[in-house]
Structure 1
């Protein structure tokens, strides 16, 4: 069972009024009095004291804008990664190494083995899906997420890969 809050003394109430009159925030007053923010809020309400929340609102908005900018930078990096991986996938010549009888054997196929293509396309699809979800946070509260062109592209790439490689097994 929770303990009943300790009532404010007359001195604490006077100090609360004084600090409020100086324009201190509720949290700052709580620190000064050694009380919880909730206790200060309850006593402030009883005394009819209110706090200016414009600074809090401005700080919250600034944090939201910072997060939006960070998401935009991450999205850009994800797109760069997707472009790099697609360019590699479509490169046409690959320098690969396998170990055979304890010896490294280098070879250069014109097409990646199926398991490597699958892994690469899975990574591309994952990066695209992540970018799409991050973009949805900043557009219509996610309403466009279901019809995103990027999401459809990721799904299409996976379907194309599966169709191209049904039953295929590339051996070097």
Structure 2
């Protein structure tokens, strides 16, 4: 058995439907019969070794592999994600919030730059300093920013637009 997750982003090309897709796959064994279960369950004292620093390092590496400055683009993304409340965007908004909010978890010996980027986004709503060092907005690739209330003249929400994997 396995789990398969794909994130697809449409590329704007005239007269063509092209999508940039990242695929994630996990495989696991299903118990063959009831004797496989044991009680009480054996709980390991080992942690999985997944922490925010490892995730940020992996994201920076992936961004670098696409020709962009990894750390600078991650800082810009953290700042931009912190500018707006993502709570109205369901599970995807919650995942983005937890992933891109360094203060959402206990201290993990991260560089102070990450928390500073989050603070700049939350309190100052000014991510221009990060945009100077990174030419691409990763949040802009997957979201649309606009007025939640048409009567309001300020930007009040971020809406994450979900695109289908296939278009017919």
Q: Please report the TM-score for the alignment, with normalisation by the length of structure 1.
A: 0.24
Structure with the largest fraction of strand = 2
Q: Please report the TM-score for the alignment, with normalisation by the length of structure 2.
A: 0.24
Structure with the largest fraction of helix = 1
